[in-house]
Chain A
Amino acid sequence: MTKAVLKGRRIVEGLCRAEALVSMKPISFLGGVDPQTGIIVEKGSDIYGERVKDKVLCFPHGHGSTVGSYVIYALAKNSAAPAALVNEKADSVIVIGAVMANIPMVDQIDISKIRKGDIVEVDAYNGVVRIL
């Protein structure tokens, strides 16, 4: 059963279904996410200590160094990457990381509608997020 359908914009194509992890604060991948484990280590993050691996990671947008794109790639290489990325407003650091790592990505989504632990389906071919 679908509880809600959120319509956004396709950034990197793909389809997946997984548990949501939601941060209402911007994420800096360089220095903010451990590239080996995928654990959030950014001080002041509202999901500090959580693991992004295999989650639909929802956050407003990125911030910080452009090296962050490489960190997203490294997460994928280390099998610690999120299953999908959902943003309010995509920025170049996150987009490039998603392209490098081939992670489905959608933006222009009101992430406050998504709760941690929700099972969501990200249809990044059509730019749609379904809360199941």
Chain B
Amino acid sequence: MHLTREEERIYNGELGWASQICMRILVKLGDLFGAERLIPIDSAHVSGVSYKTLGNAPTDFLKTLAESGEKTRVESTLNPKSFDPEYLGKRLPEKLLQEQREILRAFEKMGFKQSYTCTPYHLQKVRVGAHLAWAESSAVVYANSILGAMTNREGGPSALAAAIIGKTPDYGIHKPENRKPNILVEVDPPIKYGIEYSALGIFLGRILKDKIPIIKGLKELTEDKLKQLGAALASTGMTNMFYYENELREKSGIEKVNVGRKEIENTIEQLTTTQVPKPDLVFIGCPHCSLQEIKKIAKIVRGKKIKQEIELWICTSRFIREKAADHINELEKCGAKVLTDTCAVVTWTEELGIKTIMTNSAKTAYYAPTLNKADTILAPLEECLKTALEK
């Protein structure tokens, strides 16, 4: 890999241990994947923030890095943590909260924004054609496919190194030749509901591996439905990007795959693990709710009440919560918990006695059986809310 004089000085440790180790991470990754140089990035987004998913191993590294005085060189955001200040922060054991706070202090000292969201694209404008170093696979797919930005699927540590250096190795999806679609997916009959988009993502992730699809047969498109599709796609596969415009011309010789009613329905069924339609928790907001989603939910729950025996969590970012203050009021009046900074998957639902989670997110339904040791019910948003509300 060719390094500039400045990069070389950092690599050799002339600017200290912390920037050296971050530079070495980026250069070794670049060597591994055949990059020729580092390229500047507009922003970095780091996953691996929740103490529940991290455990104790990273704390020492993060603290050492933070204590070196090293700071992020670009706009740098953080994925959700394991609790919100208002609700879970008061219900979970103090020991767990302490461990989490220690991790957060290290990130904050390094200059990371206290964003705590999986949807960094809701709080910053992303330029078309911008190079990014984002971890959080759902945001990676969203950035590449919907925003027209360019980011490989970083891991927590490589995104952290990129945040500190402000650069990323130039390989993979940063190169135009690696952004070409190589498989055509025809969904017939076309799909139009959020849950179908979500299920399509799970199904495609399993069969595409890392191929880039053009997907035809998506009706009543919204950014929120595409967000669901991308999040699910990244859960089961290594695909980091998809195309969806129906006017995209077919390429001759491109591989083709058909997805029908049966595949979508089977996938939805498989993501429900219990026959008993009695969830302890109804969870909306994986990935974190957009302003449109909050508005839609507020409209449905207006003037109603949540059942005594069920919790309804609506998870979103602080930014959207502020923007949607009036709607949030309505949600809270009906008894819903509007949680920022966290979600059901990255907190300790078991500690709260939650055994069955109902959700509209295929990503959550895919991960919750292992990460939350919970049964899952995957259902459309309207049905989830209906289950939580009194008649």
What residues make up the interface of A, taking CB atoms closer than 8 Å to B?
Answer: 11-12, 30, 35, 65-67, 69-71, 73-74, 77, 90, 92-93, 95-96, 99-100
Contact = CB atoms under 8 A, between A and B. Distances in A.
B37 to A, nearest CB: 18
A73 B32 CA distance: 20
Interface of A, helix, strand, loop or mixed by DSSP = helix
B157 interface: yes
B55 A30 contact: yes
20 contacts: A11-B28, A11-B31, A30-B57, A35-B57, A65-B53, A66-B156, A66-B158, A67-B54, A67-B55, A69-B157, A70-B54, A70-B58, A70-B157, A71-B57, A73-B60, A74-B58, A77-B60, A95-B28, A99-B21, A100-B157
Given A92-B29, A95-B29, A100-B21, A73 B155 contact: no
A66 B60 contact: no
A88 to B, nearest CB: 14
A8 B388 CA distance: 59
A92 to B, nearest CB: 6
A70 B61 contact: yes
B54 to A, nearest CB: 6
Given A93-B155, A96-B28, 10 more contacts: A11-B31, A11-B32, A67-B55, A67-B58, A69-B156, A74-B57, A95-B29, A96-B25, A96-B155, A96-B161
B279 interface: no
A11 B27 CA distance: 11
Contact of A96 (B31, B56, B60, B158): B158
Interface of B, helix, strand, loop or mixed by DSSP = helix
A35 B32 contact: no
Given A11-B32, A74-B58, A99 B155 contact: no
Contacts of B24: 99
Contacts of B32: 11, 90, 92, 95
B271 interface: no
A69 B29 CA distance: 13
Given A35-B57, A74-B57, A67 B48 contact: yes
A11 B55 CA distance: 27
Contacts of A90: 32
B231 interface: no
Interface of B: 21, 24-25, 28-29, 31-32, 47-48, 53-58, 60-61, 135, 155-158, 161
Contacts of A99: 21, 24-25, 28
B155 A74 contact: no
B57 A73 contact: yes
A67 B29 contact: no
B278 to A, nearest CB: 31
A66 B135 contact: yes
Nearest to A66: B155
Contacts of A95: 28-29, 32
A92 B32 CA distance: 8
B31 to A, nearest CB: 8
A66 B155 CA distance: 5
Nearest to B24: A99
Choose among B25, B31, B47 the residue with the greatest number of A CB atoms under 10 Å from its CB: B25
B331 to A, nearest CB: 33
B157 A66 contact: yes
Contact of B61 (A11, A73, A92): A73
A73 B48 CA distance: 15
Contacts of B55: 30, 35, 67
A86 to B, nearest CB: 15
A12 B29 CA distance: 11
The 7 closest A-B pairs by CB, nearest first: A66-B155, A70-B58, A74-B57, A71-B57, A69-B157, A35-B57, A70-B57
Contacts of A96: 25, 28-29, 155, 157-158, 161
A96 B58 CA distance: 13
A11 B28 CA distance: 7
A69 B157 CA distance: 7
Contacts of A30: 55, 57
Contacts of A92: 29, 32, 155, 158
Contacts of A66: 47-48, 135, 155-158
Choose among B29, B57, B156, B157 the residue with the greatest number of A CB atoms under 10 Å from its CB: B57
Contacts of B29: 92, 95-96
A26 B57 CA distance: 20
Contacts of B157: 66, 69-70, 96, 100
